[in-house]
Structure 1
Amino acid sequence: MLTKALILSLAVTACLADEIVRPCALTDLACIRRNLAINSRCNPNVLGRVPAEYSVQLLKFYAPYFNSSYEDYNLIVRNHNRCRVSEFFFNLSSETVLLGLDCPQLEFESNRTVIQHATFKEDKYFSYRYKGNYPLVRLTTNLRYDNELNLCKSFTFADVTALPAFLISPNDPRTENYLSRDLTELNIFERETFFWRASLLARYFINLILCDFGCNY
């Protein structure tokens, strides 16, 4: 049960009408860390930094609108270290902690396999090299007290605020012929892509910078 006594640095001027409490300045990561640690089971002894570049061996995701599955091999993530906390508050009424991150210039690069699905047909496989830079991705995670503010069991929503600048290099002529030049539905594809990337990004940053919840990314 979330109680006001559990929240550190509770301001007298808190807006109790809607039970929203902002106990920390968004730049005060030590304060945010203390609040997360005292209200959950996370470990506040964190590394305190995110690499400017790191790799993920395999990330799979599904794009229902396009009837396709995707496999990113040796996914390289760049500029994740530039993310910053953009929102942090306790809602005492709903017993929820909201944690928002702004991530500018996120870059992804991978060898991607596309698996195209169709009714009563065999899957078709295509392969290309992908590199994309996203001007701003906003991540919103709701941590609830009914699961002990467990980040590993929480959903993260990603808002892709602008379409990426990207390069695609087909790995074979078949893939080159398959790829569409029509980008009118790219915004749909990117929203579906980040539905799967969002948790990885939020957990990696939070566990290294704010408080370690012990999640597998």
Structure 2
Amino acid sequence: MRGGQGLARVAVVVRAGAAPLWWLGVFAAGIGVLVPGLTGRRIGVLAGAALFLVAMAVVASTRRGRYRALARPAVRAGKHDALQDRAVSVRNWRRGHRWWLLLAFLAALGGSFALPAAGGLLLAGCGAGLWWKASWIGRLEEADQSLLWVRVDWLGAGAGSPAGKAVKAYRTTGIAAGDATPGGARRRASALS
């Protein structure tokens, strides 16, 4: 890899946290609804539904300007750049965030003693917001007919944000590069052939 960089898909890194946050949130909400809590189940679930919608909207819209600003001047990836597999990017992100995910899950469970299910629904809303943001990035990629990549070393062992301060610019490839579709979803086997 003479002079090349390891590159991870921007949408894949954004989407990596969606599934764990969603499922941990659903699980915490399911357990939380069994606890009567200080406010009662009905108030807890209604507050949780409101938190779900707010979290989804905030997570989905945060830093959109930064993503656009990094995507605009993006240059083509070089022939010595190594494109990271989707599974590796997802695994790196989840490894880098595993303790935060565990703490968020425990906080959501603990919060059920005050507002049943609300903390779990808040977590699930964050997961849904990441899916929404990844699909928005996918629409940007489809509009430009190019996939957005970020240098792996700028992500800091997979735990960083693809729009963080350490990220200076993105690189691009053609729409068929890598093993993930625009938006970061797994590319189907039929799409590869």
Q: TM-score range by the shorter chain?
A: under 0.3
Q: TM-score, normalised by structure 2?
A: 0.25
From the CA coordinates, give the structure whose radius of gyration is larger.
1
More relative contact order, 1 or 2 (CA 8 Å, 6+ apart): 2
Question: Quick check: which one's helix share is greater?
Answer: 2
